[in-house]
Amino acid sequence: MADKRNFRSSYYEKVGCRGVEEKKSLEILLKEKPWDRVKLQQFCLRFTVPAAYRNLIWRVLLGILPVYPDSHQFVLEQRTAQYEDLLHALEVMELVEPSAPPARRLYAMWQLESGRIKPYLFPETKFPSEETFIPIASSLLELYSDEVDVYWLTKGLTEVVRGSQRELPKLVEVFRTMLEKEDLELYNHLVDIKGLDILPLTKWFNCCFAGILDDTSLTKIWDKLCGGAPKILSFVAVMLLITLRRCILKAENAEEVLKCVSEIPEQCEEVVANKAIELWQYYGAQPQSEQLAKK
């Protein structure tokens, strides 16, 4: 059903027309002074951000850079200086081993900047913040070589997750509703063997699927997160299960379901991301776009 809904857009994307038009549309937005944050959010919700602009757009939407492009260089210098101060303080205080992985070091810097020594738990859910920050940082380190950018992007995405903690029950509800609607057989099978209860939805939503899906697939999903649409995560979870339905339908108990979703074939990961975005755009994107337009 999703293929029929999106045949035209998929065709345009394959022949390269869609990407060219999207890039032109974004370049027009970036000629405005100051940049219109709401329009940039709407662009992220409607399209996949061109890779050449993604780092820049994310930083603006996450509040790392201002909407005034003439100020970007100065702000970047300040962000870099702050990063270097944190790194120096971390080394002087010996809060992390020199051999620690980069993502772990960045997490320790975030803790230090936040005035925390002990690992921080999100108050609403008691979920360990390191299980959000470190997977996201690890994925971003595969995408970008500049650790300064990675630190600030990870911090920004972690703040998005922290701000969405009270919405987690709604994300779970959307996931269950959409799974039942899109694949009733799969949904009923999971209910029968109590597989829904064992799904690591809280982990998936809190790490934004970092470490679950490959880094290239994640960027398309995180475009929507930066655009202000955390509900996309529910649709990713739905399409992950539907993509793995053969394995799941063979499962005889909840533990076997957990094994299925823990062993995602590499060739399936981009399919999950693309289909999730298509499903979200069909069911869930329009109300959020209207909400942004009213701001």
How far CA 261 is from CA of 222, 270, 277, in Å, comes to 21, 15, 19
Using one digit for the tens of pLDDT, what is the confidence trace for 235-250? 999 999 999 999 999 9
pLDDT at 291 over 90: no
Average predicted confidence (pLDDT) for the chain: 89
Q: pLDDT tier at 295 (50, 70, 90 boundaries)?
A: very low
Q: pLDDT tier at 118 (50, 70, 90 boundaries)?
A: confident
Lowest mean pLDDT among 108-122, 143-157, 277-291: 277-291
pLDDT at 8 over 50: no
Token reading at 191: 């209910």
Superfamily of domain 71-163: Ypt/Rab-GAP domain of gyp1p, domain 2 (1.10.8.680)
Sequence-distant contacts of 176-185: CB under 8 A, at least 24 apart: 178/234, 178/235, 178/238, 178/279, 178/283, 179/238, 179/241, 179/242, 182/1, 182/238, 182/242, 182/279, 183/241, 183/242, 183/245, 185/249
pLDDT at 75 over 70: yes
Q: How far apart are CA 281 and CA 287, in angstroms?
A: 10
Conformation bin of residue 31: beta by default, left when phi > 0, alpha when psi is -120 to 50: alpha
Q: How far apart are CA 221 and CA 229, in angstroms?
A: 10
Question: What is residue 30's predicted lDDT score, i.e. its pLDDT?
Answer: 94
Lowest mean pLDDT among 111-115, 140-144, 210-214, 285-289: 285-289
Are 121 and 129 in contact, with CB atoms under 8 Å apart?
yes
Q: Choose between 227 and 13: higher pLDDT.
A: 227
High-pLDDT (> 90) share of the chain, %? 79
Are 50 and 22 in contact, with CB atoms under 8 Å apart?
yes
- The residue-averaged pLDDT of 118-123 equals 89
How far CA 187 is from CA of 70, 198, 238, 270, in Å, comes to 52, 13, 10, 23
Question: What is residue 216's predicted lDDT score, i.e. its pLDDT?
Answer: 86
